[in-house]
Structure 1
Amino acid sequence: MGKNFKMVAKTLYGMEELLAQELRQLGASEIEIGTRNVSFEGDTGFMYKVNLCSRIAIKVLKPITAFNIFTEEDLYKKIYEMPWEDYMDVNGTLAVDSTVFSEEFTHSQYISFKTKDAIVDRFRDRVGERPNVDLDHPTLRINIHIDRNICTVSLDSSGKSLHKRGYKTESTVAPINEVLAAGMIMLSGWTGHCDFMDPMCGSGTILTEAAMIACNIPPNLNREEFGFETWPDFDVDLYELIEAAALKKVRDFHFKIYGSDTDVVAINKAKENIKNANLQDFIELKTQDFFDSKKETGRQLYMIFNPPYDERISVDDIEKFYGNIGTTLKHGYPGTQAWMITSNMEALKHVGLRPSRKIKLYNGKLESKFVLYEMYEGSKKASKQ
C-alpha cells in the first residue's frame, strides 16, 4: 500500500455529513467536516477510488503545500519557488482555479493569473520554454485556496467537476445537477429497497442516479477522464484494479424505477441519457401528466421530484400547480414517501400538506427546501397503530 496523504473533497451545501459518511464507507481515515467540503486521508489508490465511486463529491483535491502571503508579490514568489517540473512537463498545459476568502485578496481571477504567471515564468527561466494554458483539458489543473493570509496550493485530481458523469448528452431547461440528485436520494434514505418514482423527470437525472444507487454502480464509470490520468505518476494498472474491485460490488435490483413527464421531448432526452448510462433495463418511462396519475401498485413507494419553481420554467398559475401536487399525492399515492425540492417558498405553502421533514439545500444559486410528505395508507393515526 502507498503512503497516506491529506485530501479535500468539495461538495454542495447541506451534503457535508453525507459526504463524510460516504468517505467513511469507502475507507477514508482522519475525516473532518468543513463547509461545502470534507478533508480526509488515504493513499493514491484511494484517491482514484473516491473519484470513481463518490456520488456526493464535486472535486477531490490533493494539497501539496500551504504558506502565508500578505501581498500579491508574496504569492508570485512562493508559487515560483515550487518545483512545478515534478508535476508537469513544459510541453504540458495548465489551468488554475482560485477561491478567495480574504480582505487583502479579493479578486479570484487575478489570483489565478498571478499563479499562472509564476509557473510559466519558472519554466521559461529554467528551460527556455513555457507551458500553455488550456482551460478545458489541461495536463495539470491547480487549485488555489486563500483564507485570509493562508494560501493552500492543491492539485485537482478530478479535472472537470465530478457531477459531469458522462451519461448526460441531452439536457432540458433547468436540469438538476447530478450530485444534487444523488444527494437528495441518499438524504431520503432510499437505497433500492422498494419502488422509486420521479413524476416530473425532465432529462432523467434523478432516475439515472437512483438506478446507479440501487445497483451500486460507480457513478463516474462513464466519464471520459479524470485529472489524475495526465499526472506523471498516474498508475494505470492500479486504477484498473480499483475499477475492477468496484464493479465486483455491483448488485441486482428487484424493484421498479419509473419516471414520467408531460413533455414528449423531455422523455426522449431522458431515454437517450439512460441508454448512455446502460440503465434502460432498470427504468420505465412514459409521457404522462402527474395530476392525472395514481399509484400503480400496493407496494411501498419512494417519490423524489423537482417541480418547476416559476424561475427558469414559468408556470401560468404556480400556486394552483403546487395545490394540484398536494391533491394528487393525497388522493392518488397512499403508502408513499414523497420528497420534492423547490426554491418557491410561497408556492410550497399551497401544497396543503404538512411536511414531516425540511432540509435546506441549494439548487444552483437558488436557496431551496427539500421536503418530505409522508402519505399513509388510510389515516396517519391508523398507520402508526
Structure 2
Amino acid sequence: MVAKTLFGFEDILAQELRNLGAIDIENGVRSVSFWGDKGFMYKANLCLRTALKIVKPVQSFKVRNEKELYDKMYAIPWENLMSVHETLAVDAVVHSDAFNHSLYVALKTKDAIVDRFRNIRGKRPDVDLKHPDLRISVHIQKDTCTVSLDSSGASLHHRGYRTATNIAPINEVLAAGMLLLSGWNGQSDFLDPMCGSGTIPVEAAMIACNIPANINRKEFAFEKWSDFDADLFEKVTDSSLNKTREFYHKIYAYDKAPSAVRKAKDNIRNANLAEYITLEQEDFFATEKNTEGKLHMVFNPPYGERLSNTDMERFYSSIGDTLKQGYPGTDAWLITSNLEALKYVGLRPSRKIKLFNGRLESKLVKYEMYEGSKKGKWM
C-alpha cells in the first residue's frame, strides 16, 4: 500500500507506520509505501496523523499514448473489484510528456471501465463523484501508470471535529506534522498563543493522549468495498482506543478574537477534548508564561497577505519581544510563508524546516528561550 503525505513529512510518516507495525517501509516523494493486511489498512486510515490518503495498488504498467491507456485499463478485471450496481469515481495525477491533462486521463479510465462492464454484463455502473462505492486513483509518472484503489475517500485531514473555521485555517495533517517535527510528545505543558479555530491544540491533545487521529471521522471509502469486514474494523477501532494514555500536563490556547475563540470552543468540544485544553481570549503580546518547568509552544501567526509591511514588521517584532520578555524556559515553534517576516522577530532560530502550507513555501522555525543567564543567547 501507499500512504500519501505533504512535502517534508515522509520521515515522520514512515516512523508512524513503524510504530503501528507496518513492514517493507520505503520513502517516496510525498509518499511512503508499506505492506500490511486488511486490518492494517483499517488501522492506518484510523490512526495515522500525517497521511492524506491510503491507496492500495491494483496494477502498474507502461503507457505511451491514450490507446495504450484505454486498452490496459480495459484489461483490468474490474468486475472482481466492484459490481455493476455500484458507483465509481476516478482521480488522476499526471507527470508525463505523453499526457497533459489529468481530467482527460480520468475520463479515459472511466470510459474503459464502463465499456468493459457494458460488454461483459450488458450494463454499465454509474459515476458518483462525491460518494462513490469505489474511488480509483490513477498516477502517471513519465511512462509508468499505477492504478490504485483509494481506501480513504476524502482526504484524511478531514478529521471530523472541525465544523467551524476562520480565514485560511491550517490543515489538520500539517498541524499534526508540525507538532511531531517539533518533538511534541505530551511530556510538558503546551501553548498555542494564536490558536484560530483550535486545530493545533486539538491535534496536540490527541498526540499527548495517543487518541487515533481520525476517530471522529464519519466514514472511510473502504467501508463501501465489497470485502469490507465490519467486525474486523470494530476490533481495530477498539484496540486503538485501548492504547490511549493519560496526560498529566496542561494545554493552553489563546486568541485575541472573540469569534476565533467561539469557533475553537466548538471544535474542541466536537473532538471531546475540552477537559484537556484551556481556551482563553488573550492577546499574546500582553501575556507571559504562567507555568512551571518547560513550555512547548507551536503556533501559526498571520501571514503577510493580511498585514501591510509596517504592520508585519511591528507584529513579528512583537513576537520576538514577547518571547524574550515573558517566556523563559520555552521552546517556541512557528510556521510562516513570509520569510521576510522572520527577520523582524529578532531571534536566532535553532532550527529551520522547509514545509508547504497549501501551495505556499513555508518555514517551520524553532526559538529556544533560556532561563536565567542564558537569555543572552537569543541574539
Smaller-chain TM-score bracket = over 0.9
Q: Aligned residue for 1:231?
A: 225
Q: Aligned residue for 2:249?
A: 255
Structure 1: tracts of 5 or more residues without a match? 1-6
Q: Aligned residue for 2:271?
A: 277
Matched, 1:213 2:198: no
Residue 319 of structure 1 aligns to a residue in which SS? helix
One of 106, 110, 113 as aligned partner of 1:116: 110
One of 162, 165, 169 as aligned partner of 2:159: 165
- 2:369–2:375 CA contact under 8 A, matched in 1: no
When residues 252 and 289 of structure 1 are mapped into structure 2, their CA distance, relative to the original with a 3 A threshold, is: same
Matched, 1:90 2:84: yes
Q: Quick one: distance in 1 between partners of 2:215 and 2:142?
A: 38
One of 125, 132, 141 as aligned partner of 1:131: 125
Residue 169 of structure 1 aligns to a residue in which SS? coil
Matched, 1:174 2:168: yes
Shift of 1:381: 7.7
Q: Quick one: distance in 1 between partners of 2:341 and 2:376?
A: 30
TM-score where L is the length of structure 2: 0.97
Q: Quick one: distance in 2 between partners of 1:298 and 1:220?
A: 32
Moved more, 26-35 or 87-96: 87-96
Matched, 1:295 2:276: no
Shift of 1:122: 1.2
Structure 2: tracts of 5 or more residues without a match? none
Q: Quick one: distance in 1 between partners of 2:313 and 2:190?
A: 26
Q: Quick one: distance in 2 between partners of 1:323 and 1:184?
A: 23
Q: Aligned residue for 1:34?
A: 28
Listed as ranges, the matches of 1:134-149 within 5 Å are 134-149=128-143
Q: Which amino acid aligns with 1:293?
A: T
Listed as ranges, the matches of 1:173-192 within 5 Å are 173-192=167-186
Q: Quick one: distance in 1 between partners of 2:281 and 2:159?
A: 25
One of 348, 363, 370 as aligned partner of 1:376: 370
Q: Quick one: distance in 2 between partners of 1:374 and 1:309?
A: 22
Shift of 1:298: 2.4
Q: Quick one: distance in 2 between partners of 1:91 and 1:169?
A: 33
Q: Which amino acid aligns with 2:88?
A: L
Moved more, 164-173 or 130-139: 130-139
Residue 304 of structure 2 aligns to a residue in which SS? coil
Q: Which amino acid aligns with 1:46?
A: F
- 2:209–2:247 CA contact under 8 A, matched in 1: yes
Residue 368 of structure 1 aligns to a residue in which SS? strand
TM-score where L is the length of structure 1: 0.96
Residue 50 of structure 1 aligns to a residue in which SS? helix
Q: Aligned residue for 1:222?
A: 216
Residue 146 of structure 2 aligns to a residue in which SS? strand
Moved more, 119-128 or 161-170: 119-128
Q: Quick one: distance in 1 between partners of 2:191 and 2:33?
A: 34
Q: Quick one: distance in 2 between partners of 1:380 and 1:119?
A: 66
Q: Quick one: distance in 1 between partners of 2:372 and 2:178?
A: 27
Q: Quick one: distance in 1 between partners of 2:116 and 2:376?
A: 73
Per-residue CA distance 1:190-221 (angstroms, 9 max, x = gap): 10000000000000000000000000000100
Q: Quick one: distance in 2 between partners of 1:35 and 1:297?
A: 40
Listed as ranges, the matches of 1:4-43 within 5 Å are 7-43=1-37
Q: Which amino acid aligns with 1:255?
A: H
Shift of 1:120: 1.1
Shift of 1:382: 9.1
- 2:189–2:291 CA contact under 8 A, matched in 1: no
Per-residue CA distance 1:98-152 (angstroms, 9 max, x = gap): 1111111121111001101111111122222221211111100100011111111
One of 316, 328, 332 as aligned partner of 1:338: 332
Q: Quick one: distance in 1 between partners of 2:147 and 2:29?
A: 18
Q: Which amino acid aligns with 1:304?
A: V
Per-residue CA distance 1:48-107 (angstroms, 9 max, x = gap): 110000001100010011111111011111111111111112121111111111111121
Matched, 1:363 2:357: yes
Q: Which amino acid aligns with 2:107?
A: F
Q: Quick one: distance in 1 between partners of 2:41 and 2:284?
A: 42
Q: Quick one: distance in 2 between partners of 1:378 and 1:174?
A: 38
Per-residue CA distance 1:5-42 (angstroms, 9 max, x = gap): xx010000000000011101100111110110000111
Matched, 1:348 2:342: yes
Listed as ranges, the matches of 1:101-112 within 5 Å are 101-112=95-106
Residue 145 of structure 1 aligns to a residue in which SS? strand
Q: Aligned residue for 1:53?
A: 47
Shift of 1:314: 3.5
Q: Which amino acid aligns with 1:151?
A: C
Residue 372 of structure 2 aligns to a residue in which SS? coil
- 2:187–2:249 CA contact under 8 A, matched in 1: yes
Q: Quick one: distance in 1 between partners of 2:13 and 2:72?
A: 32
Per-residue CA distance 1:142-180 (angstroms, 9 max, x = gap): 000111111110000111100000001101001000000
- Give identity over the alignment, percent: 63
Q: Quick one: distance in 2 between partners of 1:124 and 1:263?
A: 57
